[in-house]
Structure 1
């Protein structure tokens, strides 16, 4: 009440965003397996994924051929997206991330559908995860691995 209001000139002075603010969604393409979970769970159906199966030769002689999905297209239509974050939460492979980037306005609404090359470029703006609480317990997996290493057996 006793402080004067300060007007910040936005284009010249970028705002200080809160640490968990939601901007645009970025794609870490190497982690995407084309499982389609994000597209199926999206309430707005704004994620478009196209893929094909690729057959891999057997890893060892006498082994079976394997097949894997290869990502052909990954696009998000930000004119439909409501930024709920369900796609990020359901991704079991950590391929989608929030970025603090919010300056992606377009003159034409059709240009708000961003393909994987643009989503990949936004990965550079993803902040690092917060540091672990120094007083917190170690994860069970880490404790088990350390115990196994001390006993001289594989984890």
Structure 2
């Protein structure tokens, strides 16, 4: 299934991502983000605006929803049960540095619950297994798009 891009009115994109409309217009002129006109209003690619403004997973709306959990330790098996994600999947995210290790309690590795909650949200949005979920910075992975085939 092909995911179609989402376009937002310029004013809404500026508000949502905390940017000036003039800055977005400059990005359009430089070819950094795509724009069009719908119903007489300029619209911009939400994904491209987001890519231009967000460089860390902590800046993503999906992460900010769980920011209140930052620094709270949870162990891997507890996280797997609580967030309905397989333990080995969480372990891989820890090994890749997407989920921070906070320390140890006896033989249990304690990890950051905010990172787990964020990763679990992306995991469930994208229907889990068989998909590359995160890039090396912990941002949701964007597959390379090729030509559409009918």
Tell me whether the two structures share a fold, i.e. TM-score over 0.5.
no
Structure number with higher relative contact order (C-alpha < 8 Å, ≥ 6 residues apart) = 1
**What TM-score, normalized by structure 2, do the two folds share?**
0.25
Q: Which has the larger radius of gyration?
A: 1
- Could you say which structure has the higher helix fraction? 2
